[in-house]
Amino acid sequence: MGSAPLLSVEDLVVVYQTPSGPVRAVDRVSFVLERGEVLGLVGESGSGKSTVAQALARILAPPAMITGGRVLFEGHDVLAMNEDELRRFRWRKMSFVLQSAMNALSPVLTIGDQIIDVLVTHERTSKRIARERAAHLLELVGIDPARLTSHPHELSGGMRQRVGIALALALDPPLVVMDEPTTALDVVVQHEVLSKIAELKEKLGLSVLFITHDMSVVSQFATRIGVLYAGRLVEMAPTRELFRAPRHPYTAGLLGSFVSIHGPRRRLAGIPGSPPDLRRLPTGCAFRARCREAAARCATEAPALRVIAEDHHTACHLVSP
């Protein structure tokens, strides 16, 4: 088991059952996350990145359904687990920091209760011990333990998100999935939360799956980055490599559309057009309508993810190794 990667996703397919027919939100996504690694998953709204995240612990709500693929965690197939095994797996092995700091905590329960809940459920500790642990967890993220009895609405957005992080660390899980953990926050607070995450990652040796639409955020942390477009992984490479030499036109477009304070001045370039409607995906490459270099082959044949350099994968016909 020691040789198995921490997380290995193979050909994951997630379908949303809609009145107008099934929609493939995640289409044959595969990736591997090694122990101690921070893997960034980047994409626009609707690219399927949060759906991938939730599929990993099978917390997708209907009408979303996992219809294919495998999710192996430390070699165990998560998709084959029964309800009991799944409950024991969740949070102990893989915890979440969810998108909106505002809504991830129940408004009617104290933050203490929501942390203690996890400890009591999984570790069967007494309430008293759980309370001490919860206080310690709050200290870890820099929040006064007296706040245990506060309700979410009494905390600022940044504090709430740090509570979310404390909650994610409660059982000391090998993998933390962070789904847009800083999106709802202003830039200053965003920075504060990100440095807290970086600090804890070093201290606790966490593995992180970091999901965001913001290239600049993910570049600070991730060892590798995967780029999702219309439910498919279009490029995956080590962060440096991806920033230095993006091969997929979409990745290049993403990197061209944010400001870097280092390096030479350059004109910002956006990506023309908008993401495709998943219900009516074009044939061939989903990106071709927005791609400046699209060729005839792109309209007929969907490009598969190929190895083009060491540890660098791209799904584009125009790229040659």
Question: Which residues are near another protein by CB under 8 A?
Answer: 54, 57, 59, 61-62, 86-92, 95-96, 98-100, 103-110, 117-118, 121-122, 151, 153
Q: Which is nearer to another protein, 159 or 225 (CB)?
A: 159
Q: How far is the CB of 287 from another protein (least distance, A)?
A: 30
Q: Which is nearer to another protein, 122 or 191 (CB)?
A: 122
CA–CA gap between residue 61 and residue 278 (Å, rounded) = 19
Q: How far is the CB of 51 from another protein (least distance, A)?
A: 12
Per-residue DSSP letter, 97:
E
In 3-state terms, what secondary structure has residue 304? coil
- Greatest Cα pair distance in the chain: 67
CA 115, 116, 121, 124 torsion-angle sign: positive
Q: How far is the CB of 118 from another protein (least distance, A)?
A: 5
* Tokens of residue 151, six digits: 């309700």
CA 45, 46, 52, 54 torsion-angle sign: positive
R_g (Cα) of the chain, nearest Å: 20
Residue 18 CB-density burial (10 A; 0-12 exposed, 13-18 middle, 19+ buried)? exposed
Q: Which is nearer to another protein, 10 or 117 (CB)?
A: 117
Q: How far is the CB of 183 from another protein (least distance, A)?
A: 12
Q: Which is nearer to another protein, 27 or 180 (CB)?
A: 180
Q: How far is the CB of 20 from another protein (least distance, A)?
A: 18
